[in-house]
Amino acid sequence: MNLIPIIMSGGSGSRLWPQSRSLYPKQFLPLVNEQTMLQNTLSRLDGLNSVSAPMVIANEEHRFLVAEQFRQVNRKASAIILEPVGRNTAPAVALAALKAKTLSEDEEPLLLVLAADHVINDVNAFHQAVEAALPAALDGKLVTFGIVPGHPETGYGYIKALNDSETKAQGFSSDEQKETFEPSSLSAEKIMPVEHFVEKPDLETAQGYLATGDYYWNSGMFLFKASRYLEELNKFRPDILEACQKAMEVQTADLDFVRLDELAFKACPEESIDYAVMEKTTDAVVVPLDAGWSDVGSWSSLADISEKDEVGNSTLGDVLLHDTRNTYVRSEKKLIATLGVDDLVITESDDAILVAHKNRVQDVKKIVERLKAANRSEAKLHRKVYRPWGAYDSIDMGDRFQVKRITVKPGAQLSLQMHHHRAEHWIVVKGTALVTNGDQEILLTENQSTYIPIGVVHRLENPGKFDLELIEVQSGGYLGEDDIVRFEDTYGRA
């Protein structure tokens, strides 16, 4: 048996702005502990039997973030498939299934489909649920994991399972179920056929769901054979499968990444796996999961799973509270003090502050929409921007000048480039820099500097074993990041 985790990492996390940005979304952030959400998802796989290296489905724009976060925790992906455009989960899983069949020595690899940005506090319970679901998946069933609801939640979709009496009425006996789905740690009756999926309910409907005991939150996690998913997709949405097959026919390898035929994939319809397959197939079964799960879909949901004081406050960073209740406060750099407030979310990043009532945090995306409409950088980027060679932090900006703090990883180099509209002055503050400046190659150490005039071809490289840090002062009539003409680039950027 070959179990391949498929990690879906295409979300933008706009409801967690200002920490989450479209080019640095929540799955790459350390929101609940010192590891990022993606890294927690990787760590969660430790201890599962027969698990292969995971596969990641990611946006083109996030490719270096994914690779770097794998590197930081000494992990290796079997493939990082880059979607030229987002087409929802049904095509994404199809790409993974097609790739898995070519990578696996097992003719029938199993796919464990996971989101990159979920919280699961009880890892042992998660492992037990996966192991319990394996026999059903090996038998050709499409398994979904239903979260045991703790309260009448209106923000999630639900899964209606057939209970024992309903199952018998439809021709399943308990013995037949046990013979087919004998799990390792859950009773056979806990692997149940799915009756149907339901959309997010209102509060009264959600309360009714809880009262029956037959409804579960839809986690968006699945387990099935790659071949079975492709069979069912071909049955219900052959147009999606055909587009994905065409996109994979001319795939190309680029460093750690798998690139698809862009035009073919853009022609693929956009559809979720629930709508395309799970709601239509007669082979869907649900395994209950009670493991402290959260999709961290908003600041209030993050507050719910955070440690609280005696009056319901959760804090992170340099925070001072007085006469404050049921409030979530997150500071990254500045002191945040509160006085006489209740039921708020207050969060600060390097370039923005959000203050919202807990009842309105679902509307944070409206703030992001306004930022995008105004073409403001705060919708896409943080002040600190990560690149495959390291990062830069824009620490000051004014009329015709900009100051950045640049960090280059050991052995890394920027592209060989030039600018039409700006000159640059580099001052090394830590480490050693190998600089190409026109027809010169210069080695600079701490407190040494070089000046690069407008139009001069240049490159920066770190030949050392430690991070290189320098201050860059740009001056000129236009300082945008698009004023770069690249002649050579290690990372395949245009």
Considering the domain architecture, whether residues 212 and 250 belong to the same structural domain is answered as yes
Alpha-carbon span 394 to 384, nearest angstrom: 6
Considering the domain architecture, whether residues 314 and 399 belong to the same structural domain is answered as no
Q: Answer with the one of 276, 294, 312 that is the final residue of a domain.
A: 294
Considering the domain architecture, whether residues 390 and 266 belong to the same structural domain is answered as no
Question: Does any domain span residue 378?
Answer: no
Considering the domain architecture, whether residues 314 and 421 belong to the same structural domain is answered as no
Considering the domain architecture, whether residues 203 and 346 belong to the same structural domain is answered as no
Q: Tell me: the pLDDT tens digits for 312-357?
A: 999 999 999 999 999 999 999 899 999 999 999 999 998 999 999 9
Considering the domain architecture, whether residues 343 and 405 belong to the same structural domain is answered as no
Question: Does any domain span residue 377?
Answer: no
Question: Does any domain span residue 213?
Answer: yes
Considering the domain architecture, whether residues 463 and 341 belong to the same structural domain is answered as no
Q: Tell me: the pLDDT tens digits for 432-457?
A: 999 999 999 999 999 999 999 999 99
Model pTM score = 0.87
**Cα–Cα nearest to 255, from 493, 492, 3:** 492
Please report, for the domain that includes residue 241, its CATH number. Answer: 3.90.550.10
Q: Tell me: the pLDDT tens digits for 269-318?
A: 999 999 999 999 999 999 999 999 999 999 999 999 999 999 999 999 99
Considering the domain architecture, whether residues 229 and 247 belong to the same structural domain is answered as yes
Considering the domain architecture, whether residues 172 and 93 belong to the same structural domain is answered as yes
Question: Does any domain span residue 375?
Answer: no
| Residue 166 pLDDT level (bands cut at 50, 70, 90) | low
Please report, for the domain that includes residue 390, its CATH number. Answer: 2.60.120.10
Residue-number span of the structural domain to which 322 is assigned: 303-366
Alpha carbon distances (Å) from 343 to 17, 205, 353: 18, 25, 17
Considering the domain architecture, whether residues 348 and 266 belong to the same structural domain is answered as no
Alpha-carbon span 246 to 319, nearest angstrom: 53
Question: Does any domain span residue 376?
Answer: no
> For residues 412 and 254, which has the higher predicted lDDT (pLDDT)?
412
The total number of structural domains that make up the chain = 3
Q: Which residues of 295-444 form beta strands (DSSP E)?
A: 314-316, 319-322, 328-330, 336-339, 344-348, 353-357, 384-387, 390-398, 401-408, 416-418, 422-430, 433-437, 440-444
Considering the domain architecture, whether residues 324 and 459 belong to the same structural domain is answered as no
Question: Does any domain span residue 211?
Answer: yes
Question: Does any domain span residue 251?
Answer: yes
